[in-house]
Amino acid sequence: QTNESQDSRLRARAARVIPGGMWGHQRAEALPKGYPQFFASGKGARVTDVDGREYIDFMCAWGPIILGHQHEGVEAAAAAQASAGNCLNGPTEHAVILAERLVDTVAHADWALLQKNGSDAMTTCITTARAATGRRKILIAKGAYHGAVPWCSPSLVGVTSEDRAHLLHFTFNDVDSLVAAVADAGDDLAAIVVSAFRHDLGIPQELPTEAFAHAVRKHCDDSGAVMVLDDVRAGFRLNMAGSWEGTGVRPDLTAFSKAIANGHALSAVTGSEWLRDAANSVFVTGSFWYAGAQMAAGVATLDELVRIDGPALMARAGHRLRNGLDEQAARHGFALNQSGPVAMPLVQFAGDDPKASLGEAFCGEALRRGVYLHHRHNMFLSTAHTDAEIDCALEATEDAFAALARNRPKDQGDAA
Ligand code: PMP
């Protein structure tokens, strides 16, 4: 028996049997030093790693957790269906109930398809748009993340130019660049794809401007192209009716996933009436797309979010966190740039380098004090982030700022 941590033992074993030791966005390698790779449990706003260290969690599994970890009502609904049978020869009644809930809740929705992952839902939006229009070109914002499949992966490794042949780019919130991309597409424009807001890694987040939102809608209407909203990351955190409701613009297709079933694997495409036949015409399926437990979890999650007005609770928690961090930073001589919706905050240090070294050091200090933050990716709040949990986190970040100020390089002048 050594005093090596369970996390490092698991990492060593993983390195032998998993390429690179871990795949994808939850690789601890991309996080500040000291972050655990492996977790054992979660409850409410807290997660516990395999070495028994507990953290107030501001990543929420990178989005899926919206009512807190192990929400009792959701887990009971999922467990009831799981114990009766999860994968059967067809879906359970929860598929119909969930589609009805989505049609009732999401403003533009007349129908819904249910799947597993956000990439599934986004890909279905693209194929449906092409089927509906008989055209090929898809406009997406430069730097926007839409999934980990060849047509949209942020990495070109293993991807052919043919996979990307019909993608054209614009800059989010830049109407001129949108107009230019629409012109490039000519009479072959199938869809314009937008995110809930600009949430590219490592740069300040931007909410859609009204001018941009209306331009997207207008160019789709003028050309007969499909407006696709990628609400995979933000869906049901900001507005139960859809994240663009506040802009006065409604999409034709929306992809949801992440938070829709509070941690159970589920995604959905919702669509407007005119795309019903196109959605029926494309071939979409998956071995696990009919499983009942996650759909039961989805119904329970949406019902609870509506009942408690989840978006309002998360906004309240987000404001409390944002104001608290700003006040602490200023007192310790730092200036923060906090951007995006308060329930999905990106916290950056003004003047930090592109690698976010100061942010990384701050997150490391916070982690040692039991708060799990991210320095470059937007974070996620849940309805389990009560005032008491936010205040508890702020006690730790107060000490983290103090430690950061103590260790601050001499040549870095006070920002305040
Ligand atoms: N779109 C957006 C905006 C996302 O944030 C993500 C996941 N991070 C996806 C699509 C892809 O979802 P998934 O990882 O479930 O395939």
CB atoms within 10 A of CB 368: 14
DSSP assignment of 125-186, as one string?
HHHHHHHHHS--EEEEETT----SSTTT-S--TT--TGGGTTEEEE-TT-HHHHHHHHHHHG
How far apart (Å, rounded) are the C-alpha atoms in residues 358 and 350? 10
Please report the pLDDT score of residue 3 as a whole number: 77
Any ligand 1 atom below 6 A from CB of 124: no
What residue type is assigned to position 374 of the chain? Answer: H
What residue type is assigned to position 247 of the chain? Answer: T
For ligand 1, atom 5, which residue shows the shortest CA distance? 233
Any ligand 1 atom below 6 A from CB of 147: yes
Any ligand 1 atom below 6 A from CB of 116: no
Q: What is the ipTM of this complex?
A: 0.99
Ligand 1 centre to CA of 233 (Å) is 6
Q: What CATH topology corresponds to 72-308?
A: Aspartate Aminotransferase; domain 2 (3.40.640)
For ligand 1, atom 12, which residue shows the shortest CA distance? 118
Only one residue has tokens 């409390």, namely 320
Residue ranges of domains in the chain: 6-62+310-406, 72-308
Q: Which long-range contacts (CB under 8 A, 24 or more apart) does 151-158 make?
A: 151/123, 151/126, 152/119, 152/122
Question: Pairing relation of β-strands 226-230 and 189-195?
Answer: parallel
Do residues 109 and 254 lie in contact, with contact meaning Cβ atoms separated by under 8 Å? yes
How far apart (Å, rounded) are the C-alpha atoms in residues 338 and 324? 12
Please report the pLDDT score of residue 78 as a whole number: 98
Distance, first Cα to last Cα, the chain? 50
For ligand 1, atom 13, which residue shows the shortest CA distance? 118
Please report the pLDDT score of residue 412 as a whole number: 52
C-alpha of 226 from chain center: 22
Mutate to test the pocket of ligand 1, among 25, 232, 237 (most ligand atoms within 8 A of CB): 232
CATH superfamily for 6-62+310-406 is: Aspartate Aminotransferase, domain 1 (3.90.1150.10)
Any ligand 1 atom below 6 A from CB of 123: no
pLDDT in tens, the chain (416 residues): 567 999 999 999 999 999 999 999 999 999 999 999 999 999 999 999 999 999 999 999 999 999 999 999 999 999 999 999 999 999 999 999 999 999 999 999 999 999 999 999 999 999 999 999 999 999 999 999 999 999 999 999 999 999 999 999 999 999 999 999 999 999 999 999 999 999 999 999 999 999 999 999 999 999 999 999 999 999 999 999 999 999 999 999 999 999 999 999 999 999 999 999 999 999 999 999 999 999 999 999 999 999 999 999 999 999 999 999 999 999 999 999 999 999 999 999 999 998 999 999 999 999 999 999 999 999 999 999 999 999 999 999 999 999 999 998 665 544 44
Ligand 1 centre to CA of 122 (Å) is 8
Distances (CA, A) of 323 to 184, 335, 354, 394: 44, 12, 24, 10
Any ligand 1 atom below 6 A from CB of 122: yes
Residue ranges of alpha helices (H) inside 233-356 are: 276-281, 292-308, 310-331
